[in-house]
Structure 1
Amino acid sequence: MTSGGGTFSAEEVAYLKTLPAVADATARRITYTEAFKAYCVERYGEGVSPVSLFREAGLDPSLIGYKRIECAIARWRKAMGVPTVRKPRSARTAPGTTPFSPGKAPLAGEPVLTGEQGDIRDLLIYQQVRRIDELERQVLDLSSRLEQLDKSEVHPGA
């Protein structure tokens, strides 16, 4: 947020309003479409990082803010009645199925953290989101460097 203090500049608001994921934007608030909220909650449950989801939608974390992204996902999941804890990768089901689909045994004992435990979990998730974003940036940078090296080997002197 270039304006500082948690506000968006007029240019940033204009940009945000052009995005399909954004229903409305003001200097202090972004309202997301219901479709984007549902998409994020579903994909987050599949293990996709919140930062990646927002970035894919044109909502760069450096503009939106990491805390805003973290709070939005948590708020949407709570509003949609999604448990606080994601399923471990091995326990997740294929798209379009549920743990109770024919031929599948139900998953037992998935914990739902609340109160102090939930606050600790939220803090850990926040820290992981930031680390994942940092690693994603490094991967993009290294991929770009590797691509440049490959091009220089194919076309020496380029």
Structure 2
Amino acid sequence: MTKRIFTKKEQEQLKCNPYVQAVSEKAITYTDEFKRHFIAENDKGTSPREIFEEAGLHVDLIGLQRISSAGKRWRAAYRQTGVEGLQDTRKTNSGRPSEKELSLEEKIARLEAKNQLLRAENELLKKLDLLERQMLKKKSQSKRNENLN
């Protein structure tokens, strides 16, 4: 981790960003939504720096090392466990993991919750794809109109 310390003013500036969950002097916690967005955009070939800049997170403030480290961490977590690996589980996973055997009802409830999460993720990706196609269509139409004039 970088040794750069954020001033109070910088912390306040970062907290105003909708993709930032929390900020301290030494660390930034990003929202799960931003992590999913990062993975989706990075898979399309967008550089980590561009993704952060487009999200309003200035590279000069955050630092390239932090951006690079976060990207590596998120990609590794995503490869290992999928979308669940991107979630901040610090509040839910405190202490030792439970060693008790889950009942059939508990197993079903967990699988249903996981299924619901995956469906929501699929819907989000469909919406993103639709928006991207619409933007590309508008760009190509505006270029055609410019060529006609």
TM-score by length of 1: 0.48
Provide structure 1 residue ranges, at least 5 long, that are not aligned to the other structure: 83-94, 97-158
**Paired residue for 2:54?**
56
Name the CA distance, whole Å, in 2 between partners of 1:41 and 1:76.
7
Give deviations 1:54-81, integer Å, cap 9, x for gaps: 0111111111000100110110011111
Q: Is the 8 A contact 2:3 2:26 kept in 1?
A: no
SS at match of 1:19: coil
Q: Identify the residue that residue 17 of structure 2 maps to in structure 1.
A: 19
Q: Which residue of 2 aligns with 1:116?
A: none
Look up the match of 2:64.
Answer: 66
Question: Counterpart of 1:37 in 2: which secondary structure?
Answer: helix
Q: Percent identity?
A: 37
Give the CA deviation at 1:5: 4.2
RMSD of Structure 2 on Structure 1 (CA): 1.8
Relative to total residues, which structure has the larger helix share, 1 or 2?
A: 2
Query: What residue number does 1:130 align with?
Result: none
Provide runs of 4+ in structure 1 moved above 2 Å.
Answer: none
Conservation of the 8 A alpha-carbon contact between 2:20 and 2:28: yes
Q: Aligned-pair distance for 1:25? A: 0.4
Length, aligned pairs only: 81
* C-alpha distance 57-47 of structure 1, shift in aligned 2 (>3 A): same
Q: Map 1:3-152 onto structure 2 (within 5 A).
A: 5-81=3-79
